[in-house]
Amino acid sequence: MAGRTYRLSREKFHNVWDNSLEPALEIAPGDTVVFDLQDVSGGTILPSSKAEDLQRRDPNKMYPLGGPIYVRDAKPGDLLEVKILTLTPGDWGWSGFVPERGLLPEEFPYYYIKHYDLSNHKTTKFKPGLVLPLDPFCGTMGVAPKDPGTHSTRPPDVFGGNMDIRHLTAGSTLFLPVQVEGALFSCGDCHSAQGDGEVCLTGIESPMLVKLRFKLRKGRSIPLPQFSTTGPLTRKYDSKGYYATTGINPDLLNSAKMAVHNMIEYLTLNRGLTRDEAYILCSVAADLKISELVDKPNYLVSCYLPLNIFHH
């Protein structure tokens, strides 16, 4: 028997993880919820916003999460199964970077913002001759933590949270270990596109309608979030192959930084992008992959850029 479908308005949100929050909605296992979600800025960034507006973001509105959703009969030791049914971006999105954040803060110590037209919900023009496919997902999905008090929405944790797993797209299923009675699930931080790494700090941030179905597996917990996907992971990007740069260093983070730095250099020298545009493009379209971890003392990270985004 099919469950009920509910809609949660964007006014039902919170900005911290806290297991004492009053549920915005109570559902039964098998039910579906459609979340009307704000972008990560909580509406403080607009299509008219300039780079300097990033300095005036309201921290009390950042990372708005829809929820929490109380799932009846969910208890610690159970597994919450979240089936991702549909994700529909709004008509507009943005990317940006700010001082002291992101993978390369020493190279980009200032504010920068880029806006996108997402109105066809399938692709967006990054600049003339460069078109990105949209592949929407929620950057943040999780249940309430077991520890009392307020917890930041920025880092991921045992309960899920800001994981930024770009393959949690429509058709995928997320499995979360229930921490408290009712699970108290929330989601937000929606991205219409993002590369693995989200290296400049943002993907294509956008409002989004997100439709999720919830099931409960009693007494089958897991230590950390897990997920399953359907089909190829990068089918929207694979048609023309990739160009990749590498970073090699005894520190894995430094290897990642070197790979992205080298991709920025490639894009500016060979693809006509400014350094700011190249950094943003690495964040929304390029994938960082750990290519080698076993040949000490150096570790190798590759930065893969899909070539089908270039239309000239």
Would the pTM count as exceeding 0.75? yes
Minimum mean pLDDT among 138-142, 163-167, 228-232, 240-244: which range?
Answer: 228-232
For the cut 90, the answer to whether the pLDDT of residue 199 exceeds it is: yes
**For range 112-139, the mean pLDDT:** 97
The backbone region for 49, taken as left when phi is positive above 0, alpha when psi lies in -120 to 50, beta otherwise, is: beta
What CA–CA distances, in Å, run from 66 to 24, 47, 101, 171? 8, 22, 25, 20
Topology given in CATH for the domain delimited by 5-228? Jelly Rolls (2.60.120)
Task: Give the confidence band of 49 by pLDDT, cuts at 50, 70, 90.
Answer: very high
Q: Where are the domains of the chain?
A: 5-228, 238-309
Instruction: Domain 238-309: state its class.
Output: alpha beta
pLDDT for residue 237 is more than 70? yes
Residue 24: left if φ>0, alpha if ψ -120 to 50, beta else—which one?
A: alpha
Which residue would you say has higher pLDDT here, 178 or 230? Answer: 178
Which pLDDT score is estimated for 245? Answer: 98
Over range 283-287, report the average pLDDT: 98
Task: Check residue 227 and give its pLDDT.
Answer: 98
Say what the pLDDT of residue 1 is.
55
State residue 297's pLDDT score. 96
Q: How many CB atoms lie within 10 A of CB 219?
A: 8
High-pLDDT (> 90) share of the chain, %? 92
Q: What is the mean pLDDT of residues 80-93?
A: 98
* Band of pLDDT at residue 60, cut at 50, 70 and 90: confident
Q: What is the mean pLDDT of residues 41-53?
A: 94
What integer is the mean pLDDT of 80-108?
Answer: 97
Cβ contacts of residue 34 below 8 Å, gap of 6+?
Answer: 5, 6, 7, 8, 209, 210, 211
Mean pLDDT on 187-202: 97
Mean pLDDT of the 186-215 span: 97
Rounded Cα–Cα distance for residues 217 and 78 (Å): 6
Position 38: which residue type? Q
Q: Which two structure tokens, joined as six digits, stand for 143? A: 């249940």
Tens digits of residue pLDDT in 154-191: 899 999 999 999 999 999 999 999 999 999 999 999 99
Q: Alpha-carbon distance 5 to 30, whole Å?
A: 9
